[in-house]
Amino acid sequence: MKRVLNFFTIMVITICSYAQDIIVTKDAKKIDAKILEVSTSEVRYKELDNLDGPIFILRSDEISSIIYANGKVVLYDQPKEEPIDEEKEAEAIAKANQMGSLFGNSGNNTGASGTRNAGQKGNPVGHGSSGGTSWSLPGRGIKGTLPMPSNNFSQEGKVIVQIRVNPAGKVVEASIVGGNVSDKQTQQLALDAAKKAKFTEGESDQVGTITYIFKLN
């Protein structure tokens, strides 16, 4: 009889262990639990060592992740990327190129500045890209490399900056015209980097774009 009871006890412990869910809170606290109900706003559970006890409730914004007994992992603190609106991006670039042509320059410029830009190795006239980050400025080349934003950003995505460049090649105006990043700090990092860009000389002010891609490591 004693052996039967011991066997039954081992089976109960095994079943409970298998049914264990783990809730990890955003302050790194781990809760051994039995999940009862999950909604978009909260999670209801019982503590694993007191299944006959009260039901506890955690708000979804307090949870970092849930590891279910079957091995499934649900993350709660991952940023959601907004879909990139390709149509708006194309409109922004087209608008910038159109404004650039209004200042007397185009991507097909074969005048003095166009010839001078074409001689710059690694700087295609009017556009260029590196690692997903790109720029477009009709009839101009970029001097050196495109300045990149600092790593102090908190949201992934794309930021399209419209720039106005004076005849000397300096960026004199910069503004956000597209992308899918809503975080103001990340947008400001893109603006600050764009203002440091240096382009080759031209005959008048020109308008173009710089597109930055932000990726969290």
Q: pLDDT tens across 131-181, in order? A: 678 888 888 888 888 888 887 777 788 899 999 999 999 999 999 998 888
Which has the closest alpha carbon to 23: 55, 54, 60, 63? Answer: 63
* pLDDT score, position 27: 84
Which has the closest alpha carbon to 47: 23, 71, 65, 66? Answer: 23
How many residues are present in the chain?
217
CA distance 46 to 103: 69
What's 2-75's CATH class?
Answer: mainly beta
In terms of CATH architecture, what is 86-214? Answer: 2-Layer Sandwich (3.30)
pLDDT tens column, 48-58: 898 898 999 99
* pLDDT score, position 115: 33
Q: What is the pTM of this model?
A: 0.46
Pairing of strands 42-47, 30-38: antiparallel
Q: Where are the domains of the chain?
A: 2-75, 86-214
H helix runs in the chain, sequence order = 2-18, 86-102, 112-118, 184-195
Identity (one letter) of the amino acid at 194? A
pLDDT tens column, 65-97: 898 888 788 888 654 445 555 566 566 666 655
Mean pLDDT of the chain: 75
